[in-house]
Structure 1
Amino acid sequence: MKFIRRISRLRLLPKLILTFLLVLSPLYFIGLKMNVSGSGIVRNEISNSLSSRVDLYMEILESDFSRTVGLLQQYVNDDDLLKLSTSASFMTDIERMDSILRLKSRLDLLKSSSNFIANVIAYIPDIDRSITSNEIDITNFNRVEFEALRQANNRFQTPFIVWQDRLFISISYPDPSINKSPRFVMAVEISRQALETTLSRFTNEGGGAVLTGKNSLWTVSGAVDVQQGKKFLQQVENERKQITSEIGNVKIDNMTFMVAQKDSETLNATLLMFVPTQSLLLPLQTYRMWLIILSLSAVAIMFAFSFSIYRMIHRPLRILVAAFRKLEQGDFEISLKAPFQDEFGFLYERFNATVRQLGVLVHEVYEQQYRAQSAELRHLQSQINPHFLYNTYFILYRMAKLHDNENLIHLTKHLGEYFQYITRDGSDKAPFDKEAQHAKSYMEIQSIRFRQRIKAVFEPIPQEVSNILVPRLILQPIIENAYNYALEQKAKDGLLIVNSVVQDGRLLVVVEDNGDQITPESLKKLQMLLSNGELVAESTGLVNVHRRLRIQYGPEGGIQLDIGSLGGLKVTIIIPLERE
């Protein structure tokens, strides 16, 4: 009863899905059972066939290479070869040439006896020549190749010698175990290309075959897909442990291959044939596909009668829910179109009207807040612009009175640049290099005034932030504050340093002095003044700059106060670059 109650509480779509599953489950079970049973029978037949084929192909390869070894051994008693290798110095040129031509003719016959032979070579040290079936003329003697192929080789274990990734069958006379300096070496070079072509013809189901030495010193692969054959070679050594003596499986690039192997004691090699399981079981997969298509067709037909009613309710609701989600994200441009003039059409129209009204209200509130902040920003800036005026005229008065004309010239120059910057236009922002130059002009003016008592250092600004826009008149008030409250009372050795760095996506402008007026208690009062700056009617330069930066950049910007390494106040102006 509880199960029935839970089902009755489900929505329409889950109920339909559950009904279809109950109807189709027995059909699927019967179809899969038939497919699994047929797959097992077909797999056994294919395994037996593949095992028989690999046995047959290995017998063919053994017969071919055994015949080649037998023919090669007959050349040990060849008259012309024995004469050329033992008594060539006693032969006339004509006799020697006749022997070489007869020997070359027999080498050609040996080469034509098998498609797997690429070349037949007779290495004869006494005449310092190599006679080959592939060359018209007699070639020069290759000492390196001769030394590699004359090594003793147990032909009862393996007939092959691997040298420079080439495969040879060779016979030395006399045997190197008896005489270390053989009179001649007969070698047959196996054609890898011909062997690969033959191996690729062993299977026609999209797989291939691999012939490899027992110790993996050499490997020849033939596959319908060359890249697939290379990947099989890369994994065959790791996967062969999972292969039984005859049939096994190997997985390559999410594809399963049926692999049959046959070991040869005569060749000391293993022949592996691999065929994609998918191609072998293609008829069963086709049957399974049609079973699925039939089931899906039944579902589609049954679903068509109920889905029309279902979509009349679910689809409009889904569109309405999606619209509400976009509205939550702040998208006030969304508008719904009602395809029918029904209850959902009425809801869509009311939703559109509500969105339009919300957009108007949000726009009004945003514009009002922006105008208020802009007005406050200009008010704070207007407080800062004339702040330096009175002190400047006092300095000019003192220099004129003392007849300090040289410094008076420098001062008026810097003063002109100073007032040119603050009166140039009404823009609230300026490039950082211009703002820094303005502050530097101010420091030059103060350096003329306190040249005997205060040393001012303005470090170069980073090149990458020279053109970013910053609020105007944020650096000069901080420097002015350092002169007025920290350095003006020092009798000597006053020091003021201004430095700019880029760190963690922020521009940090540090103004630090060595004044002795700052204490932990006074620092704490200044920090509290900054945090409550918006409540102060007549703000100081520090509070004004801090407030302007907060209006411009939000809580990421502003001023940070600390006791610096010089012993005085350290003021850090923080400007987030990503919000610049």
Structure 2
Amino acid sequence: MKLSRKVWQSSVYKRLIIAFIIATIPIYILAGILYSWASNLLRQDIMDSAETQSENYLRELNDTISRFNSLQYDMLNDNYLNKLVNTYDILEPYRRIELIHFLRSKLVSMRNSSELIVDTRLYLPGIKVEISAVDGYGYLKDEDVPVAKLHDPYNVISYNNKLLIVAYPLESEFDTIPNIIIEMELRPSEIQRGFQAALKKDYSGALILGLGTNAENMYIINDEKLEEPIRKHYGRSLPSKQATVRQPPAKLDQTYIFTHSSLMDSSLYVDHYLYKPTMFKTISEYYKWFWLFFCMTILMVALYLYYINKIINKPMVKLVRAFKRIEEGNLELNIRHDKEDEFGYIYERFNEMLINLKISIDEVYNQRIHLQNAELKQLQSQINPHFLYNCLFSIIRLIKMEKDDEAVNFTNQLAKYFQFITRNSRDTVPLENEVAHARNYVMLQLARFSDRVSVEFEELPASLKPYSVPRLIIQPLVENAFVHGLENVLEGGILRVTFVDVPEHERLVIVVEDNGENSEEGLERLSALVMDEQNKQITQEITGILNVHKRLRYKYGPESGIKVGRSALGGVKIELIINPKAVTADVSNANRG
């Protein structure tokens, strides 16, 4: 599991995805910034265009009103008008009529100069004369020229539902009413038509034209829900002559964009309420295209990653899993790749490598088996000449002492000993036979040590007798005890052989211990040699123990072998540990094959 987690954490595909995401995120961020910048720029252009059109219309309207003011001013300075006013009482009647008709003709010319003018009227309060371009002339009544008309000269005012421009000499001295008053009545419908034609757009929610501080506003309202709040708002607080910016009704801020346009030194202004959904309809189309592009790129990225996963990641994972199965010991693999690409080449080389690996393992395994057999043969051929001499001298002594039966028995035991160690038919034997051979060896040694060594050889439990073990694994340990532990003991020597079955650990322990005079230094040296199997400085006496240790490890695994320690008897304690469930090779079968 640790390997799998490590492989995933360092996965090339995972790092490829992360690198791809890191590379694409700035692109999407930049695209979003550019889109936002372009949208804001387009919005600002639309608003600037609306404000520019409003300002152009206001300039045109202001120029028209200024032209009307110029006509009025010219009329006020007309010589015939001043002559009529100043010499009215001394003029002949026909001359008065002549001047009145002349002035009326000028008023008609003024009226005909623009479609915006309904009528042009001249009031002469001093001589009680009223001249109209439409109605002619007549007697002027005092109520025809109220003071309310005179509060805002030369500007548009509202009076009795009429739009008027009233002019009179500003430098003249009068108590209440000037001697000369020129009045232009404007046509509201024509102003409304021009206003609508110049400024109304598809995205116009409402248009408000302010004509002056004393004139009623003109409204073009396309959205019914704006009717009440706008009329209420503008009816409550008309802008002053100096006002340049008006705030829209608060509840309309989120739905409409408000623009205010006005001119310096003029009371004219235009308020435009731009309906956002219609105004930014083009931007909304771009917005849809942007998100379509975004989704398409995400889809393309997903398809790209899927394709990369299919052609790179999956073959890579398959190869990694194959290596993991090899680590677990499964060499029966044959991975395939359908395409003739780099992975196809790698898979083919992997399969060839696996075949070569199995061949190499078989060769090494067979070499190890043959090495075990050679070591076993070497151990079998290592007959200690001193042991043989001692046995022969013991037979001679028994014969001289005329102990014929004992001599025969001893000779039979010696024959069984040589028969066991020289037999090559099988390299493994039942544990019962191996123990019997070790016991026979002990009996042969007791011919020399019986007067100074006692033997405690435990009976082998019946459950352990069928166990198959390598030959000659107990006798070398017993021999080591006699040669190195008990050789110089004069009396009271003890040799103990016991058997311990540990079912919970699935292992068998054979203990050989003595109370010989082994030094601590010798014990440590023996233990170190067992731990260091490759040590070249090994005496012939210890070769047998090390040979047993290596053969047990070869057959039963690294948990089996020889363990050396201090015995409770005072001498050396050698534990022979066997794990029967962990058999790695059957030497005899391998040898015969």
**What is the TM-score with the length of structure 1 in the denominator?**
0.43
Structure having the higher Rg: 2
